[in-house]
Amino acid sequence: MSTTRSSEADALKFAYWVPNVSGGLVISKIEQRTGWDIDYNRRLAQAAEKNGFDYALSQIRFTAGYGAEYQHESVSFTHALLAATERLKVIAAVLPGPWNPVLLAKQIATIDHLTQGRIAVNIVSGWFRGEFAAIGEPWLDHDERYRRSEEFIRAIKGVWTEDNFTFRGDFYRFRDYTLRPKPLQQPHPEIFQGGSSRAARDMAARVSDWYFTNGNTPEGVKVQIDDLRAKAAQEGRSVKIGVNAFIIARDTEAEAQQVLAEIIAKADPEAVNAFGHEVKNAGKASPEGEGNWARSSFDDLVQYNDGFRTQLIGTPQQIAERILALKDVGVDLVLAGFLHFIEEVEYFGAKVLPLVRQLEEQRRLKAA
């Protein structure tokens, strides 16, 4: 059992991005010591749980979009990682449209039993129009995608928690359906969502357990959290917040900044620009023009979920303090990406996480 894992209920949680697609987490020709194959990923998952990580987030991708030439399917990959670990929770990413809610609910309920209740789901609403065209899926407008995702979440929750479930939506219908067995986790496996537009926040307030947003500063995340938590309170609900960060922790700040500069200098401009073109179907396409990638620069897009903007780049002490600043504005989980995954997960667990836990303890003592 890791000594860096805090037993306090309010301790920040840590997740890492499962590299189940090829090409690493940055769209750059810099050397990335990582792998998208199952052997590498099993070792990474085992290293992550030993080093204090609570969750792993898989990705769903059907086609290459930004150099991610190979993409393993997320639910099956998630099962394999759960089978190789003991405590880690693994989040399977799914897209309403290609996925049908009853199939997902049944798949996840079974995997929940096979893995002692450690699976969760991330419902992604989609931004990649070319991918939908390639697989013959009809493309919906931005806010319609969220209306469908919300029905999808209501449907899987209903199937997981109710007997004789009946539901009449615009996208999905159920009549007197009873799933057996229900999932092991009660009331149901955790439901995460990706997306940061107003439609995404409204959906999270009504139906999700967790809201994942792209990389951002504490001030930028706070605006979203305040809006989301106010809306959730009106619904009598609370929603937890996860923020993405590409972490570059090195013994000196100069070293860390040098790595960032090299990632950007070696960016693949064609792939970054192609990605920048595709993501215009996301946040910017929402009626209010907010959300993921609405204001991303070329440099931001080199890490495809704006992970540099969270600024977890520097020494372990600097990073730990910035992580606490995120916690201060209401963040519950940091979702981490790394350049050289296994090595850096180990460095993070050894050097950064103990400082985070110390700072959390100091704040607890101060508040007591």
Angle (CA) 266-270-272 rounded to 5° is 70
Chosen residue from 77, 127, 160, 246 binding ligand FMN by CB under 6 A: 127
CB contact at 8 A, 199 and 142: yes
Closest to 241 measured CA to CA, from 256, 229, 258, 252:
229
CB of 195 to ligand FMN, least distance (A): 3
Judged on CB neighbours under 10 Å (0-12, 13-18, 19+), 144 is: middle
CB of 90 to ligand FMN, least distance (A): 13
Q: Do strands 165-168 and 119-123 pair parallel, antiparallel, or not at all (unpaired)? A: unpaired
Applying CB under 6 A, which part among 33-41, 57-65, 112-120, 312-320 lies near ligand FMN? 57-65
CB of 167 to ligand FMN, least distance (A): 23
315-334: contacts with ligand FMN (CB under 6 A): none
CA atoms of 203 and 227, how far apart (whole Å): 12
CB of 358 to ligand FMN, least distance (A): 27
Chosen residue from 41, 71, 185, 214 binding ligand FMN by CB under 6 A: 214
Report residue 121 as tokens: 């789901």
Pick the closer one to ligand FMN by CB: 296 or 315: 296
CB contact at 8 A, 101 and 171: no
Chosen residue from 4, 28, 78, 213 binding ligand FMN by CB under 6 A: 213
Pick the closer one to ligand FMN by CB: 208 or 286: 286
CB of 68 to ligand FMN, least distance (A): 10
Binding residues for ligand FMN, how many (CB under 6 A)?
A: 25
Chosen residue from 335, 339, 353, 356 binding ligand FMN by CB under 6 A: 335
Tell me how far CA of residue 42 lies from CA of 1, 51, 89, 289, in angstroms.
18, 14, 13, 39
CB contact at 8 A, 190 and 207: no
CB of 59 to ligand FMN, least distance (A): 4
174-203: contacts with ligand FMN (CB under 6 A): 194-197, 200
Residues 6+ apart with CB under 8 A from 90: 18, 45, 55, 56, 57, 58, 78, 81, 82, 118, 119, 120
Q: Is 67 in the site for ligand FMN (CB under 6 A)?
A: no
CB of 285 to ligand FMN, least distance (A): 7
Q: Is 283 in the site for ligand FMN (CB under 6 A)?
A: yes
Chosen residue from 128, 210, 341, 348 binding ligand FMN by CB under 6 A: 128
CB of 144 to ligand FMN, least distance (A): 12
CA atoms of 276 and 293, how far apart (whole Å): 8
CA atoms of 157 and 155, how far apart (whole Å): 5
Pick the closer one to ligand FMN by CB: 222 or 266: 222
Q: Is 124 in the site for ligand FMN (CB under 6 A)?
A: yes
CA atoms of 206 and 228, how far apart (whole Å): 10
CB contact at 8 A, 166 and 96: no
Query: For binding to ligand FMN (CB under 6 A), which residues are involved?
Result: 59-61, 93, 124-128, 194-197, 200, 212-214, 244, 282-283, 286, 291-292, 305, 335
